[in-house]
Amino acid sequence: MSLSIQRMLALPCHVRAQVFRRVLAAPAASLRPFSTSRPVNQEPTSSVNETEVSHFNALASSWWDPHGSSRLLHLMNPLRHDFIARCRATTTKDAKEKLHYLDIGCGGGIFAESAARRSHTASVAAIDPTPSVIAVARKHQRLDPLLLEPGRLEYKQIPLEHLPVPSSPEQGYDIITLFEVLEHIRRPSALLASALPYLKPGGWIIGSTIARTNISWFTTKLMAEDVLGIVPRGTHEWGQYIMPNELFQWAKIQKELEVEQDGRGWMVQGVMYVPGLGWKEVGGSEEWGNYFFGVRRKIEGGG
């Protein structure tokens, strides 16, 4: 029995009754319109969801409180770095190579700061369209002199489409991250496609999101937001969750990416939050809950 269900059964009877009524009324796991086609001569559209910007503006002041509204993001951060290292280990020969990161949807900078402090990091560019969270990120950056070194960590309050594209593929980023981003925007496939020109050949796009299943509705919406209150209410919209196979099918048809049926150039890892223990890797849980994913850009001529 999962810890979430154990905690639910410990609730007063009238609360349990309300929970079970909500479960019976839960949405069926229908397909989300996640486009896998390549847009043809499509005008650029904004990746900004104004509703989400307003929501995260309201949470900005508590972003760096390890016991506040972003507590689960703080706890997840070590697993983010572990997954990046695992992706790179499948193809990288030089473990000491200095990496250039682009963190899309950086929020208050939890991942961006930690990446900028790592010994193998050359630079981190972190972008987010939300004014308050970028202000919080810059303020917190000033607490660490290391992060103020020229070029080490730069925040920009812009959406991806306003970031200058590198002059050549080789000038791109080694790692592009989108942690807890895709489920908060209306057109995730368009954002992923827009990120490809910024990625260096051999580089990885790495992110995290949530599978769209009845189990994830129960754990992330009903339990986490409504019952336990460990995530602010309204943080997630279940209909915007993405199944890992939808991401895989999208990646397979992108000519820039190296995604093979044998798994080369594609990685996925399910993770689960265990109260009292934190986030844990759970094989197979990517099919029904939170997960990391990674896709690699081709190197022309192989590699």
pLDDT score, position 226:
75
For the purposes of burial, counting CB atoms within 10 Å of the CB of 201, is it exposed (0-12), middle (13-18) or buried (19 or more)? Answer: middle
- Tell me which residue of 121, 178, 127 sits closest to 147, measured CA to CA: 121
Taking the CB of residue 120, how many other CB atoms lie within 10 A of it?
14
pLDDT score, position 228:
77
- Give all domains of the chain, ordered by start, each with its CATH number: 3-16+49-296 (3.40.50.150)
Compute the distance between CA of residue 301 and CA of residue 303 in angstroms, rounded to an integer.
Answer: 7
Q: In the numeric block, which tokens belong to residue 15? A: 């609360």
Query: Helices 131-141 & 50-59, crossing angle to 10 degrees?
Result: 40
Residue 33 CB contacts under 8 Å (≥ 6 apart), including other chains: none
pLDDT score, position 34:
58
For residue 116, give the 3-state DSSP assignment: helix
pLDDT score, position 270:
96
Binding residues for Mg(2+): 180, 183-184
Helix (H) or strand (E) holding 174: strand 173-179
Residue 294 CB contacts under 8 Å (≥ 6 apart), including other chains: 83, 84, 87, 204, 205, 206, 207, 266, 267, 268
Compute the distance between CA of residue 241 and CA of residue 184 in angstroms, rounded to an integer.
Answer: 9
Q: Residue 274 — left, alpha, or beta (φ > 0 → left; ψ -120 to 50 → alpha)?
A: beta
CA distances from 28 to 215, 238, 285, 286 (A): 10, 11, 19, 18
pLDDT score, position 44:
47
CA distances from 221 to 21, 210, 217, 239 (A): 14, 11, 5, 11
Output the pTM of the full model.
0.82
CB 205 within 8 A of CB 222: no
pLDDT score, position 276:
85
For residue 203, give the 3-state DSSP assignment: strand
pLDDT score, position 185:
86
Binding residues: 80, 105, 128, 179-180, 183-184
CA distances from 274 to 76, 142, 165, 207, 231 (A): 11, 33, 40, 21, 14
Mark the ranges of the chain whose per-residue pLDDT is less than 70: 1-61, 93-95, 261-263, 301-303
Sequence-separated contacts (24+) of 253-258 with Cβ below 8 Å? 253/36, 253/37, 253/38, 254/38, 254/193, 254/196, 256/196, 256/199, 256/297, 256/298, 257/196, 257/295, 257/296, 257/297, 257/298, 258/296, 258/297, 258/298, 258/299
pLDDT score, position 216:
86
pLDDT score, position 134:
94
pLDDT tens figures, 156-210 = 999 999 999 999 999 999 999 999 999 988 889 999 999 999 999 999 999 999 9
Phi, psi of 171 (to 5 degrees): -90, 5
Cross-strand pairs, 272: 280
Binding residues for S-adenosyl-L-methionine: 80, 105, 128, 179
pLDDT score, position 101:
98
Q: In the numeric block, which tokens belong to residue 215? A: 């189990």
pLDDT score, position 47:
58
